[in-house]
């Protein structure tokens, strides 16, 4: 097993960033809710512990606490923001409460050298976000840095290897933050970087082989990166005992079915069944205009088909899914964990109806790590950098009734959007870019004649997690090129509009 750092989550918005920075430094890290006990953490055999920030005030009645036993495990501890305050309170230092928050950049001045500051300049910019502050460090600690507004911006007890900082080393605005975290891992805790994607692949393939043995696994492929990586990993582990199902629902983009068949089936040799269910989906969608009804019909039809296919395989025991780490982390409020675990919305409902055990080989990974694994597995850039695509496919981008004619128009327009985003280098810069076919026609003029044809909306957004998004400021020339090509090359379209709405209050998809 690789080295492991446990992050105790006190509810900060940026706790996930701590995990990512530590992993980027090459050390595996896991987030646990602040209600975890010292005994539970001991059983996880961590090599270091990080206490995250959080919105609470230590003096408040139900503010989350620190199990003092965590400081007796003999592993180094780094407290960040609230983590520093809760350490101070637990170890007998003093805090001052504040009604105002200090938020933003500050200049850190190092007062005492410690391994945490190794090769960090004497002054550097850090990012603050705190109300309360430490006014007296606990016994055995020394003040190691200050800022103009804060006399105690960092403290340390080198004998016990306990360090604390009031600022956030995990955010990019803290210039030397990554170095400080690396110093904590390598200088203080003496770890070696051993979390690499090739070690992940090796370990996961071995684990899957061991777990599945000679049993059979079924996996739904979507053409996206997550399910593709799951399938390729399992194919390495159990070969023909993996049964992949790719449902062609007729709502896919141009060329997608062929791409999946050729890459996963022919080149990689995955045991793949492509189900041609185009007419089944289209028949069920006939006459349906309501977005929610469309989504439900597509979801149910998918489950029915998947179920039918599974029954054709002699004995299936496991269902493989591409669940990622952010779906698994318990979300924590300042009052403790709320234990909300999101379900994977593409295949929601499958495990219950099919009574299969789940296999989720990516549940430790962040999205950027999945991309690295995909690269490690030798998958092409078209998969590694693929933008998200919704389960209900083009049906929620053909506004109003979904018919083959209208799908064809959208598919042709969408191909142009994809081509031009890729050719201009914008495909990787934006979160998603696609075309939407509107349920209306407008008047145009072509040659000497009047036209009355469809409108395509361009939707291109920037986002980090799809929870919020803003419309991408594409260069006007690029928008002009896409619009010109769509109107010239796609029969039945005489107008293109650009969607300039942010999320919220709009959503990324139109339906
Ligand atoms: P919205 O439209 O809610 O989309 O802002 C957020 C992100 O989720 C994708 N999306 C889906 N993905 N099944 C999926 O797998 C769905 O039913 C679905 N609906 C929306 C959307 O493309 C965007 O990335």
Q: What is the pLDDT of residues 134-169, one digit of tens each?
A: 999 999 999 999 999 999 999 999 999 999 999 999
Choose one of 396, 508, 510, 511 to mutate for the ligand 1 pocket test, by most ligand atoms within 8 angstroms of C-beta. Answer: 508
What is the residue-averaged pLDDT of the chain? 93
From the CA of 396, give the closest atom in ligand 1.
19
How far is Cα 319 from Cα 216, in angstroms, rounded to an integer? 9
Residue environment code for 138-157, b if the CB has 16+ CB neighbours within 10 A, otherwise e: beebebbbbbeebebbbbbb
From the CA of 392, give the closest atom in ligand 1.
17
pLDDT tens digits, one per residue of 383-403: 999 999 999 999 999 999 999
Compute the average pLDDT of residues 357-383.
94
Dist. CA 509 → ligand 1 center (Å): 7
C-alpha dihedral, 287 to 293 to 295 to 297, nearest 10°? -70
Q: Please, are residues 172 and 138 in contact by the beta-carbon 8 Å criterion?
A: no
Decide if 244 is catalytic. no
Query: pLDDT tier at 50 (50, 70, 90 boundaries)?
Result: very high
Instruction: Look up the pTM and report it.
Output: 0.84
The SS3 assignment for 207 reads: helix
Decide if 216 is catalytic. no
Look at residue 229 and tell me whether its pLDDT is greater than 70: yes
Helices of type H across 137-196:
177-183
Q: In this structure, which residue's CA is closest to atom 10 in ligand 1?
A: 390
Residue environment code for 97-127, b if the CB has 16+ CB neighbours within 10 A, otherwise e: eeeeebeeebebebbeebbbbeebeeebebb
Dist. CA 87 → ligand 1 center (Å): 41
Dist. CA 171 → ligand 1 center (Å): 27
The SS3 assignment for 212 reads: helix
Q: Please, are residues 219 and 231 in contact by the beta-carbon 8 Å criterion?
A: yes
Compute the average pLDDT of residues 166-177.
95
Decide if 168 is catalytic. yes
Ligand 1 within 6 A of CB of 391 = yes
Q: Please, are residues 69 and 77 in contact by the beta-carbon 8 Å criterion?
A: no
Q: In this structure, which residue's CA is closest to atom 21 in ligand 1?
A: 390
Which H, E and C letters describe 286-331, residue by residue? CCCCCHHHHHHHHHHHHHHHHHHHHHHCCCCCEEECCCCHHHHCCC
Residue 344: its pLDDT value, please? 35
Give percent of the chain above pLDDT 70.
Answer: 95
Biggest CA–CA distance in the chain, Å, is: 88
**Phi, psi dihedrals of residue 298, rounded to the nearest 5°:** -65, -45
From the CA of 295, give the closest atom in ligand 1.
17
* Residue with the two structure tokens 């061991």: 210
How many of the other CB atoms lie within 10 Å of CB of 332?
A: 25
Look at residue 108 and tell me whether its pLDDT is greater than 80: yes
**Phi, psi dihedrals of residue 359, rounded to the nearest 5°:** -125, 125
**Active-site option among 170, 175, 369, 511:** 170
CA 429-434-435 angle, 5° bins: 150
From the CA of 299, give the closest atom in ligand 1.
17
Choose one of 393, 469, 509 to mutate for the ligand 1 pocket test, by most ligand atoms within 8 angstroms of C-beta. Answer: 509
């Amino acid at each position: 097993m690789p080295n492991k750092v446990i992050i105790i989550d006190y509810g900060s918005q940026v706790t996930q960033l701590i995990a990512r920075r530590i992993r980027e430094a090459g050390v595996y890290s896991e987030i646990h809710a602040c209600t975890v006990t010292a005994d539970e953490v001991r059983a996880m055999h961590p090599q270091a512990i990080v206490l995250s920030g959080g919105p609470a005030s230590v003096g408040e009645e139900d503010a989350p606490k620190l199990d003092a036993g965590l400081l007796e495990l003999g592993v180094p501890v780094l407290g960040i923001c609230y983590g520093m305050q809760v350490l101070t309170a637990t170890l007998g230092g003093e805090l001052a409460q504040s009604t105002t928050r200090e938020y933003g950049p500050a200049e850190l001045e190092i007062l005492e050298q410690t391994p945490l500051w190794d090769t960090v300049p004497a002054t550097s910019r850090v990012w603050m976000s705190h109300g309360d502050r430490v006014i007296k460090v606990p016994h055995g600690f020394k003040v190691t840095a200050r800022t103009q507004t804060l006399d105690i911006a960092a403290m340390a007890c080198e004998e016990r290897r306990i360090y604390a900082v009031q600022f956030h080393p995990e955010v990019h605005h803290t210039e030397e933050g990554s170095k400080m975290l690396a110093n904590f891992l390598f200088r203080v805790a003496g770890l070696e970087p051993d979390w690499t994607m090739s070690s992940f692949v090796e370990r996961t393939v071995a684990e899957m082989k061991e777990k599945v043995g000679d049993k059979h696994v079924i996996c739904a492929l979507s053409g996206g990166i997550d399910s593709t990586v799951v399938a390729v990993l399992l194919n390495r582990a159990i070969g023909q005992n993996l049964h992949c199902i790719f449902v062609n629902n007729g709502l896919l983009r141009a060329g997608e079915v062929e791409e999946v068949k050729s890459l996963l089936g022919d080149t990689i040799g995955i045991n793949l069944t492509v189900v041609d269910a185009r007419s089944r989906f289209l028949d069920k969608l006939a006459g349906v205009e309501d977005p929610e009804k469309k989504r439900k019909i597509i979801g149910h039809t998918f489950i029915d088909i998947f179920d039918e296919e599974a029954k054709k395989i002699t004995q299936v025991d496991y269902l493989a899914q591409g669940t990622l780490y952010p779906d698994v982390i318990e979300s924590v409020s300042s009052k403790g964990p709320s234990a909300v675990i999101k379900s994977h919305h593409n295949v929601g409902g499958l495990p219950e109806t099919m009574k299969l055990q789940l296999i989720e080989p990516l549940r430790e990974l962040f999205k950027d790590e999945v991309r690295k694994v995909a690269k490690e597995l030798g998958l092409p850039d078209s998969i590694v950098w693929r933008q998200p695509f919704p389960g209900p496919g083009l049906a929620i981008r053909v506004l109003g009734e979904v018919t083959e004619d209208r799908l064809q128009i959208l598919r042709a327009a969408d191909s142009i959007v994809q081509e031009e985003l890729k050719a201009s280098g914008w495909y990787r810069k934006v979160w998603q870019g696609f075309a939407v076919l509107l349920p209306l026609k407008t008047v145009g003029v072509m040659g000497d004649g009047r036209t009355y044809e469809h409108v395509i909306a361009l939707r291109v957004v920037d986002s980090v997690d799809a929870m919020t998004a803003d419309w991408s400021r594409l260069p006007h020339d690029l928008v002009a090129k896409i619009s010109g090509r769509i109107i010239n090359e796609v029969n039945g379209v005489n107008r293109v509009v650009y969607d300039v709405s942010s999320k919220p209050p709009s959503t990324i998809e139109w339906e």
